[in-house]
Chains A and B, each alone.
Chain A
Amino acid sequence: MPDGSSDARSTILDRVRKANASVSGDHRAADYDAIPREYQRVASADRAEILKMFAERLREYDARVREAASLTAIPDEIRAALAEYGQRSALVADGFPREWLPDGLSWGAEADADIAAMDRAEGTIVACEVAIAHTGTIVLRDARRLTLLPDRLLCVVRKEQVVETVPEAFARLQAFAADALTFVSGPSATADIEMTRIRGVHGPRFLDVVLV
């Protein structure tokens, strides 16, 4: 710890305590529990509506959405999605089920790829942890560099992973609260120049979602 930092620690904490000195009582836990939470915290729509909303909102962000009728249909949908870009290869996130990958294309493993390989890769294929219909968001665990450096990101989302609201997603994520999490809502974007939305700045320019 650099010099002075521990002094600063007690200085700052003393100032905070002094600023709060006039407030009586110390019931932190009870006070926290008393915070009103009257916003929506559970789903209100039925499953079909939720899934429809998820697909619509993804498309509004310029993501492409395909539906696979069953787990066994996933390879065909991945093949079709990559074919639209003429893409012949991709890096695959660690833990992604091999049986979901179509034959005849070239797959690289996340574990074997360094930064340079990721920078050169045509695209990435991952699965998500949870998805939020209300905001069109997919939440990824780990694979932070892999889902960032290549220009095309394809994510497989199983329907049971899709929740309606942000609070439901946080309830599911609580178990992974200390992991590296990335919320992705559409392709990387900016509106910094004249408020014109441009798709793709530093992250992937293309986002494909296969909804199973």
Chain B
Amino acid sequence: MSVRVGEAARAPSFQKAAHTLLKDDQLRNNVRHATDVITHKRAGVVAEQHDWQQMRTTASAIKAHTLRYLDEYLAQFEATCTAAGGHVHWAADADEANRIIVELIQKHGGREVIKVKTMTSDEIGLNSVLEASGIHPHETDLADMIIQLGHDHPSHIVVPALHKNRRQVREIFMRAMGLKELGDKPEDLTEAARRYLREKFLKVKIGFSGANYLIAETGGVCVVESEGNARMCLTLPDVLITLAGIEKVIPTFGDLEVFLQLLPRSATGERMNPYNSLWTGVHTDEGPKEFHVVLLDNGRTRILADRESRETLHCIRCGACLNTCPVYRQTGGHAYGSIYAGPIGAILTPQLFDMEHSQSLPYASSLCGACYEVCPVKINIPEVLIHLRGRVVREQQSGASLEAIGMKAMARVFTSRRRFEAAQRLGRIGQWPFVSDGWIRHLPGMLGNWTAVRDLQPMPSQTFRNWWREREKENHDA
């Protein structure tokens, strides 16, 4: 099985990437502004909802219940969706999903696809696979289009291009759309996108989307959006292909009454986002004549098997944890080296990846707990982070690393007063070459990992124990 999460395998560690990105003032300004705006709006619409906590409790319980009976709900969705005229496909990993999607498009002779914003397609790296197969995907969400036309990577789950400002967007559009003139007001840029995409919407015969919810009871699918681009892709093409993680299934149509209240308030700070589309299989009067759903595992069942972190699969991709996270607000999304950034990315990416490539991510947090407080489905992200840190340490300990040996030696020193005091004496003597202006800024060897991101105060010339002994002696002498 080859689980893939975008290009995360090639990404540098979080700490390394963050170091570079923190120097980008433009990026930090944009991220700060965007997260401030959404956080403020969210706080307003959550405060007016007097039953917010009760809804969180229900949503969390629905998700836990669905995961407990996930096999049954998936089979039920397959049956109801098929009965309504849809086709259901199963993909164990990214490669399998990509192959199914490419084959479906090729079967219809498609050279172009209009795409609705979907994180899951970024997760499996669909666009590059499509391009390699001679199929051009048109991203139709405004932000995704900015990312695609600018050959960039998304930096936020809900507003992927928040790191670009209007002048940067204007340049990208002028180049990609071949425009000689274009204003830089958001209105001008939006109008340009409307004109550019309207022609594609009316022409391209294959649509592609993700799903916010799959409804087991009815076989229906729900997609939540703001711009109307999703409605275009979901209703105008002849063929529609929807890719969804297996955790996106919910038991009943009525369960939407909770999620459709929690998601918009958490994601964009709106009481309701402009459009929610619900459809069930193939409708005879209008919409696609052929409908396919691809159900994707790609590491999700592995998360499901870990009882301490399976709640990661509750996530409804609202992005509230990113906006509130003091670490994300400083670094932006790119530092996480994954399409899933911020606190949820810090727990999701390493688990999808089995820790191999993203061991640094569970440490990209101060464990302040703000993410847990805002999470509409009550994922206890700090607790999962600690659990994953434990796994990183255990995996590292299994090898006889220098750090593991050092930690064992440290344990011996800390359990004996004699050894501890001897170590303190040694430290005071040993530290002097590294102290300048009263601070230690660089330590040698492995200890350098500590000073790479923080300055250290030198050990004082007198320890508390020494001072206490002296004092006793003085009292005695007096």
Contact = CB atoms under 8 A, between A and B. Distances in A.
Contacts of B477: none
B89 A5 contact: yes
A177 B218 contact: yes
B74 A201 contact: no
A173 to B, nearest CB: 8
B61 A194 contact: no
A193 interface: yes
Interface in B252-304: 253-254, 256-258, 260-261, 268, 270-280, 283, 285-287, 295, 297, 301-302, 304
Interface in B191-219: 193-194, 197-198, 201-202, 215, 217-219
Given A16-B70, A179-B280, A183-B276, A8 B65 contact: no
A169 B220 CA distance: 17
Interface residues of B, number: 102
A84 interface: no
Interface string A1-37: 1101110110111011111101100101001100111
Interface string B76-113: 00000000100101111000100110011000000000
B68 A202 contact: no
Contact of B190 (A37, A119, A198): A198
Contacts of B68: 20, 23, 31
Contacts of A191: 37, 159, 226, 268
A101 to B, nearest CB: 22
A24 B258 CA distance: 28
Contacts of B162: 192, 195
A123 interface: no
B4 to A, nearest CB: 16
Nearest to A18: B305
A1 B234 CA distance: 22
Contacts of B159: 191-192, 195
Given A119-B202, A182-B276, A183-B260, 18 more contacts: A1-B89, A16-B301, A20-B71, A32-B251, A38-B51, A40-B50, A144-B277, A145-B236, A166-B257, A167-B254, A170-B253, A181-B277, A182-B277, A191-B37, A193-B169, A194-B34, A198-B187, A202-B232
B250 to A, nearest CB: 11
A166 B115 CA distance: 29
Interface stretch (A64-72, A73-81, A129-137, A154-162): A129-137
B464 interface: no
A121 interface: no
A196 B189 CA distance: 12
B301 A188 contact: no
B186 interface: yes
A35 B50 CA distance: 20
7 cross-chain pairs, A with B, having the tightest CB-CB distances, nearest first: A203-B228, A15-B301, A202-B228, A201-B227, A183-B276, A135-B272, A19-B305
Given A174-B253, A201-B193, A202-B229, A184 B166 contact: no
A143 to B, nearest CB: 8
B92 to A, nearest CB: 4
Interface residues of A, number: 76
B38 A195 contact: yes
Contacts of B198: 119, 202
A181 to B, nearest CB: 4
Main secondary structure of the interface of B (DSSP, over half): helix
A166 B232 contact: no
B33 interface: yes
A124 interface: no
B356 interface: no
Given A178-B280, A179-B280, A182-B278, A193 B190 contact: yes
Among A9, A61, A180, A192, find the residue whose CB has the most chain B CB atoms closer than 10 A.
A192
B297 A12 contact: yes
Given A4-B96, A137-B272, A144-B287, A192 B161 contact: yes
Q: Which of A9, A179, A187 has the most CB of B within 10 A?
A: A9
B286 A145 contact: yes
A169 to B, nearest CB: 8
B285 A142 contact: yes
18 contacts: A2-B103, A5-B96, A9-B90, A12-B92, A13-B74, A15-B302, A16-B301, A19-B305, A20-B67, A23-B68, A38-B54, A40-B50, A40-B51, A41-B257, A136-B271, A142-B286, A185-B274, A191-B226
A188 B226 contact: yes
A174 B30 CA distance: 43
Given A136-B271, A137-B272, A187-B274, A194 B165 contact: yes
A36 B201 CA distance: 43
Contact of B231 (A5, A148, A166, A185): A148
Nearest to B1: A11
Contacts of A5: 89-91, 96, 100
A66 to B, nearest CB: 21
A183 B275 contact: yes
Contacts of A169: 257
B404 interface: no
Contacts of A59: none
